[in-house]
Amino acid sequence: MVSFEMNDRKSELQSYSEIGLGLTGFGIFFTFLGIIFFFDKGLLAMGNILFISGVSLSIGLKSTMQFFMKRQNFKGTISFGLGFFFVVIGWPIIGMILETYGFIVLFSGFWPTLAVFIQRIPILGWVFQLPFVRSLFDKYRGKRVPV
């Protein structure tokens, strides 16, 4: 008989990761709602807070700080931070433009991994396997960012 052993530390880390993914999903959802409701600054700010806290819980506080404080990520971190600041003070359109730029700069290394994942989804996969779409992701191939 095979016994499976699960200690408290492993289950605790797994639950933090699951909570983090949930918070990240709610952050994206609230940001989407904030954009739909004509750049509502309350929803956008809540979405940003949930997204950052979800990423922090998913990969850990230390890894999050290392990711955002890397020298090559400074431009994206500063842009995302300034965008968040502009959303909070009441300039949501300027803030979202800065946040979008920062998000693209920060997470551009993850696009190839995301493309491979999306290509395996039954309905969306054939769209991402078209030559035009694949050529968009080919320029980032080999630039994956370790977390």
pLDDT tens track for 24-67: 999 999 999 999 999 999 999 999 999 999 999 988 899 999 99
Residue 147 has a pLDDT of: 42
Residue 23 has a pLDDT of: 95
86 falls within a domain:
yes
Average pLDDT, the chain: 84
pLDDT band of 10, cuts 50, 70, 90: low
Measured CA to CA, the distance from residue 122 to residue 125 in angstroms comes to 5
What mean pLDDT do residues 124-140 have? 75
120 falls within a domain:
no
39 falls within a domain:
yes
More confident residue, 142 or 57: 57
- How far does CA 65 lie from the centroid of its chain? 14
49 falls within a domain:
yes
87 falls within a domain:
yes
67 falls within a domain:
yes
Quote the domain boundaries for residue 103.
Answer: 8-108
What mean pLDDT do residues 91-120 have? 87
54 falls within a domain:
yes
| Count of domains for the chain | 1
Measured CA to CA, the distance from residue 135 to residue 116 in angstroms comes to 13
Measured CA to CA, the distance from residue 60 to residue 38 in angstroms comes to 33
Q: Which segments of the chain does DSSP mark as H helices, in order?
A: 8-36, 41-59, 61-68, 74-89, 92-107, 111-119, 125-128, 131-138
57 falls within a domain:
yes
Q: What percent of the chain has pLDDT over 70?
A: 84
In this prediction the pTM is 0.72
Measured CA to CA, the distance from residue 19 to residue 12 in angstroms comes to 11
